[in-house]
Structure 1
Amino acid sequence: MKLLNTEIKNNVLRSMMRILDGKRKEIITANQKDLDLFDKTDRAMYDRLIVDDKKVDGMIAAIQEVLQQQDPVGKIKTEQSLENGLKIENKTAPFGTIMIIYESRPDVTIEAAVLAFKANNKILLKGGKEAVHSNIILEKCWHLALEENGLDTQWIQLLHMNREETQEFLRNPTEKLDLIVPRGGERLIAFVKEHAKCAVLVSGRGNNFLFVDKDADWAQSLEVILNAKTQKISACNALDKILVDVNIDNYSDKVKELNTILKDQGVSVVVDSKVAEVLSENNVVEDESIWYEEFLAMKCVVGAVDDLESAVQKINNYSGGHSATIMTKNKERAMEFMDQVDSAAVYLNASTRFTDGGQMGVGAELAISTDKLHHRGPLGLEQLVTNKYYVYGDGQVRKS
């Protein structure tokens, strides 16, 4: 797709904001069809599927935020002049075609596409079948905005394929794909990585850990734990595992208090064998696989560790590499934890729920990347470009 100037891209976004507002009743009605067909027992997925007035307002706000950001394309990253007279600039450039595969959340059809479009990429959207009616009306809105501004609707396309067709498309795409971003659970990510032939930027599972150090402020720890675990269970930055240092003062009483507070909030608490010595009535971890699991539910595991080193080892072994927190008043130990834990975001005395583009100052985000190549953490507008070298000469030839 050709390079568009900033004003044309911004005009599309302005049109899209107006169209979404004008069609909000149609959008919510289409979404209700999806909700009526969905199994409400999967509360986390159901919550992600809902589109109401507040959610439409959020879509419009996300576009407004991207509208106000600088165009990320064509920025000079480095420049130098060589002795032979060549002038070299390293500039940002679009990826080309980005395929975004996601589950449940219709707002991704807006928030992911607006970022990729402003970065001058063509976008292929593969939403889940559970949101098909919602996504179709949102794609229609995109097409109206593009057509209003004289652009081809192929800039943003919704793909209608089942699992087998998606698998074949990943293996043998009918057009050039430059990047695939899967947004969803571990099975989706594994499926894409197995079959894709181009670069895959992984938005990894959460399975986030919090370590209560022996020098933690206990009252503060409880407040952070409750926020991270219960504020939004369907988010990838929600808390799943809590590790408590056995050397903390009044360890047994504190573990009992933690258990009571979590259960009072409706959280199911599973414990390891060490914590079971104190909480004998709780279910005990029976299979190691639970330590790898992202719950997306009112459920957590509470485990005991002997020291910071043991906590770091356990987190690096089992976590999704997304977010991890240490609660402590010991700054030296905090820095050791933050340096040694292998996660995209590490926290001192704060909730993992802040791993979010808007909360971290990045703005609207496409996903939270747990990859280490290209970019790690929130994928905002500036991260949806690659680079390109511009070399300016005047007849220079290489002689050696």
Structure 2
Amino acid sequence: MTDLNNMGQKAQDAAFELGQLGSKVKNAALLQMANSLVLNTKQIIEANKEDYENAQKNGMKKAMLDRLLLTPDRINDMADSLRQVVDLPDPIGKIDRGWETVSGLDITQERVPLGVIGMIYEARPNVTVDAAGLCFKAGNAVILRGGKEAINSNIALSETLRQALKEVGINSNAVQLIDDVSHETAQKMMELTDYIDVLIPRGSGKFIKMVVDKSKVPIIETGAGNCHIFVDKDADLDKALKIIINAKVQRPSVCNAAEKVVLHKDIANQFLPDLYDALRANSVEVRGDILCRAIVPDIVPATKDDWNTEYDDYIIAIKIVDSLDDAIKHINKYNTKHSEAIITENYSASRKFMKQIDAAVVYTNASTRFTDGQQFGFGAEIGISTQKLHARGPMGANELTTTKYLVQGDGQIRK
């Protein structure tokens, strides 16, 4: 079994060293990491091919295979995301606020690294690069533990990043990968409170719940995405159709894909047949309530469980409601606090929806697929936090910091 205590100690030592590095040094290292990914594309793709073929043999569904697959374009995108991280402001040393107290103490609140971050995730090799780059930018060491389905890809990617750090004279233990994918090692990682400051899980809702339930290390909960799009009675229906197809079909396996559509009854008869045809033309199975099936009998009956389900697949469920208030009530009952959208030309309806929906990101007239660190201008993301403490929504380098107070005195004592 992997010696996690040893890895943890190495990560702590590396984190201390990273905390002393200036922005220029960190950015030069990130550029080296980006260039190394491109130079090692062939080796990375060969490793990924082995994972992909194994996953196919084991019956992984199409949408999940897409998550696993690496191509030259996707590796270039990973490298570009690291270059974008370089261009972002360094959060370390940023002063959030400062003031002088009545006793003459000069207090500043300054951004500092979290320390050692643990990433535990499923078959998404891009997380290896995003997590390493963002953690490094924010002065943190990272211990990575990906799923067994992507183990060869993750080894190739992490070794490429570690070698790039060595080449610029930086402690390569700033990025470490646990190559033992057993459940026992995962559980031990979740108990590594002496070394890991925060653990961030990424994957399915079931996977994240397992980590939250079992971890003794503090968690930033990310990513389960039962995302809805509500088509209001005042919607532009051409716009609505385009947005829904994009949100469901572009990459159905990701957490910001639309899983549910809610329709106002006043536009359901006109809009639902066109929506159904467009979804079926894109190989999406359409499930719906009894009102939907009265309009389009070929729709598959939705069960009670459908409203809670994150499919991560070419499946969508549709519900018809009487009003905006009913849509808000339904979405708040079943959503996972991730991303929700309203399609409407009515400003008042838009503002009410955006104010009353409880989610990390709420849209008007846009696809939920934009909930992404790169799309938000963060270069990459460590995950999309669906909780309310510490961080919420797409998490970039700034969200991988905490603060400390620096207090300058001149001999003051408390009376």
TM-score band, normalised by the shorter chain? over 0.9
Aligned amino acid, residue 127 of structure 1: G
Aligned amino acid, residue 169 of structure 1: M
1:56-93 Cα shifts (integer Å, max 9, x gaps): 10111011111122211011110001221210000001
Match of 2:285 in 1: 268
Match of 1:335 in 2: 351
Q: Secondary structure at the match of 2:287?
A: strand
| Cα distance, 1:198 vs structure 2 | 2.5
Match of 1:317 in 2: 333
Match of 2:33 in 1: 16
> Pick from 171, 183, 191: which aligns with 1:163?
183
CA contact (8 A) 2:381 2:396 kept: yes
Q: Distance in 2 between matches of 1:41 and 1:7?
A: 43
| Cα distance, 1:41 vs structure 2 | 4.4
Correspondence 1:84 to 2:103: yes
Match of 2:401 in 1: 385
1:202-230 Cα shifts (integer Å, max 9, x gaps): 11211110111111111211111111111
> Pick from 38, 45, 50: which aligns with 2:69?
50
Correspondence 1:371 to 2:391: no
Correspondence 1:198 to 2:230: no
Would the alpha carbon gap of residues 169 and 356 (structure 1) be closer, same or farther in structure 2, given more than 3 Å must change?
closer
Match of 1:245 in 2: 264
| Cα distance, 1:20 vs structure 2 | 1.7
| Cα distance, 1:21 vs structure 2 | 2.1
> Pick from 237, 257, 265: which aligns with 2:274?
257
Match of 1:303 in 2: 319
The count of residues paired between Structure 1 and Structure 2 equals 395
Q: Distance in 2 between matches of 1:114 and 1:49?
A: 19
Instruction: Name which of structure 1's ranges 11-20 and 319-328 shifts more when overlaid on structure 2.
Output: 11-20
Q: Secondary structure at the match of 2:241?
A: helix
TM-score, structure 1 normalization: 0.95
1:337-385 Cα shifts (integer Å, max 9, x gaps): 1100111111111111111122223332111111111111110111111
CA contact (8 A) 2:85 2:378 kept: no
> Pick from 86, 90, 110: which aligns with 1:71?
90
Unaligned regions of 5+ residues in structure 1, if any?
none
Unaligned regions of 5+ residues in structure 2, if any?
1-14
Q: Secondary structure at the match of 1:120?
A: coil
Q: CA RMSD in A?
A: 1.4
Match of 2:159 in 1: 140
Match of 2:254 in 1: 235
Match of 1:185 in 2: 204
Return the structure number with greater helix share.
2
CA contact (8 A) 1:204 1:321 kept: no
CA contact (8 A) 2:123 2:147 kept: yes
Correspondence 1:277 to 2:294: yes
Q: Provide the identity percentage.
A: 39
Q: Secondary structure at the match of 2:301?
A: coil
Correspondence 1:357 to 2:347: no
CA contact (8 A) 1:357 1:379 kept: yes
Q: Distance in 1 between matches of 2:78 and 2:150?
A: 16
Q: Secondary structure at the match of 1:57?
A: helix
Q: Secondary structure at the match of 1:315?
A: helix
Aligned amino acid, residue 131 of structure 1: A
Q: Distance in 2 between matches of 1:130 and 1:378?
A: 25
Q: Distance in 2 between matches of 1:10 and 1:360?
A: 20
